[in-house]
Amino acid sequence: MSSLPDFALSECPAPAPAADTTRVGLIVPSSNTTMETELPELFRRQTEATGHRYTFHSARAGMRRVNPEELRAMVGKAADCAAAVSDADVEVIAYACLVAVMAQGPGAHIQAEAVIAKAAAENGRPAAVTSSAGALVRTLRSMGVRRVSMVTPYMRPLTQMVCDYVTGEGFEVVDAIALEVADNLAVGRLNPENLPEIARGLKRNGVDAVVLSACVQMPSLAAVQCVEDEIGVPVITAATATAFEIFFALGHRPAIKGAGSLLSGVWPRQAGSLAV
């Protein structure tokens, strides 16, 4: 009969004091497999640099296929998800589905963030709120970006809708490549090693930045730094922009290596609105 080996209590790592740990709440599609891996990896690198620790706590809203009907239904569940995740006493909540919000029409991130903030506050656990949709446009604005090219996993009509949304926020979309993957689980299986070659196909003349993944489900973290190094302009993703705003909401300066200049600390976040 096997038994557990003996060990000294001194061999167990001591937990960090509560004051050195921040809880982050996420609202993700039920089929999302990427945001809960890329964000913790980014914040693990932040912990390596600063010593501050972060934990992630998620609520899931049903969504399997990226189409208008399922996206609309997912947005309708935002308040319930916000109340549920706020029970974990998180300091910030990130609504992590860019296209679900943008599909609701111009400026929809403002309303979505307000709904989430209200639900958390009414649950007795107020928190700062961002969304991947709002984070993307606010981050581009705070970086002084005017012209941008993008890669999306969406079908062409949804990609055009994202382009129209970004254009409506005051940016010029020079080019957008649509990978046309409708199943959200399949989006999560896309190989980020293919992104450098895909990015080479973008029209980039005169762009101020490239959005390598306008979707938090499309894996991209492994490619961000190498694409930025190759093309010589800032490269961001929906996930890195969301992380950037989480840091801003917490008052923490990012110090992350290997994820693009945005999270390296060289781009100070300008004053702007986050829902509270």
Q: Which residues are catalytic?
A: 97, 215
Q: How far apart are CA 255 and CA 53, in angstroms?
A: 13
List the end-to-end C-alpha distance of the chain, in Å, as a whole number. Answer: 56
The amino acid at 251: G
Determine what percent of the chain falls in helix, strand and coil, rounding each to the nearest 5. 45, 20, 35
54 is known to lie in a ligand binding site: no
154 is known to lie in a ligand binding site: yes
| Rg, C-alpha atoms of the chain | 19
219: which DSSP letter?
-
Q: Considering only CA atoms, which of 206, 193, 211 is closest in space to residue 99?
A: 211
184 is known to lie in a ligand binding site: yes
Q: What is the largest CA-CA distance in the chain?
A: 69
81 is known to lie in a ligand binding site: no
163 is known to lie in a ligand binding site: no
160 is known to lie in a ligand binding site: no
111 is known to lie in a ligand binding site: no
216 is known to lie in a ligand binding site: yes
- Known binding-site residue numbers for substrate: 32, 97-99, 154, 184, 216-217
- Known binding-site residue numbers: 32, 97-99, 154, 184, 216-217
